[in-house]
Amino acid sequence: MKVARFALWRPARRATLCLLVAASFLGLPATAQDSGQTKLDAFAKCLTQKKATLYGSFLCPHCDDQRKVFGQSFAWVPYVECSMVGSRQETSSCQAAHIRYTPTWVFADGDRYVGVQSLKQLSVKTGCPLP
């Protein structure tokens, strides 16, 4: 009976060990991503200091793509919502800024970049160092 328990336990032990090894490999990207997000926080805060503002819309799939570039650090990006909930009208802030397309980045020097921008493009324009 003891041999049978040991024999049954051994495959379970192997399976558990395999799962732990797989989980550790799967955990590495998540850990690296989390540390990367912390570094992007500083980049996003620098964009604020440099007076770069993103105008976007919750209805815009490209705006969602731009948000994804920043991940959780998007919370620090200076963002102006251009769509009114329950309406297709543009907010007064976006009308005043003459935003025609979203996403649009507006910089302190008045330059505008329309469309999804890479972190490198934003870094070159603002001088904010990349992580």
Map out the domains of the chain with their CATH numbers: 40-126 (3.40.30.10)
Q: Are 103 and 63 in contact (CB under 8 A)?
A: yes
Burial letters 63-73, b for 16+ CB under 10 A, else e: beebbeebeeb
pTM to 2 decimal places: 0.70
Going residue by residue through the chain, which has 131 residues, state the pLDDT in tens, using 9 for 90 and above. Answer: 455 444 444 555 555 444 443 444 444 333 334 444 478 999 999 999 999 999 999 999 999 999 999 999 999 999 999 999 988 899 999 999 999 999 999 999 999 999 999 999 999 999 999 98
C-alpha to C-alpha distances, 120 to 44, 64, 101, 108, 126, nearest whole angstrom: 12, 18, 21, 18, 10
Sorted by sequence, the CB contacts under 8 Å of residue 81 that are 6+ apart come out as 56, 57, 58, 91
